[in-house]
Amino acid sequence: MTTRYTTDHEYVRTEGKIGTVGISNFAQEQLGDIVFVELPSVGTAVKKGDEVAVVESVKAASEIYAPVSGTITEINDALADEPGLINSDPAAAGWLFKLELADEAELENLLDEVAYADHTA
């Protein structure tokens, strides 16, 4: 399992050809209390950089971009009733969606944990 980050604070945690996407702990701290999440539809094909979801907090609405290209295979239905999962556990229970990667080589252009920590320092 590998986790990579975008400079826009999305993460993608990959297991084989499936990537689990969410926002980083840093991002949820900046946003504050999450009150609503708009998720993509299962089966949607996305390209790296496409806007695929929206996270709304008490401070602002923030677009979530696809860190890699692929097809949405699953969404986190629990967020409809409990969007605060993104605040309490962004890396596990607060994931947004899963996708089947179209091109695993795209992961090489993302930040690893050390580079992301430097980016947010």
- pLDDT tens digits, residue range 42-99? 999 999 999 999 999 999 999 999 999 999 999 999 999 999 999 999 999 999 999 9
Total domains in the fold of the chain: 1
The answer to whether residue 110 sits within a structural domain is: no
In a domain, 107, yes or no: no
Name the DSSP letter for residue 2.
Answer: E
CATH number of the domain to which 58 belongs = 2.40.50.100
Per-residue tokens: 82 = 């409990």
Nearest to 20 by CA among 10, 30, 8, 12: 12
**Dist. CA 19–CA 103, nearest whole Å:** 11
Q: Give the tens place of pLDDT for each residue, 91-101.
A: 999 999 999 99
Any domain includes 23: yes
Give yes or no for a contact between 65 and 10, defined as CB atoms under 8 angstroms apart: yes
pTM above 0.75, yes or no: yes
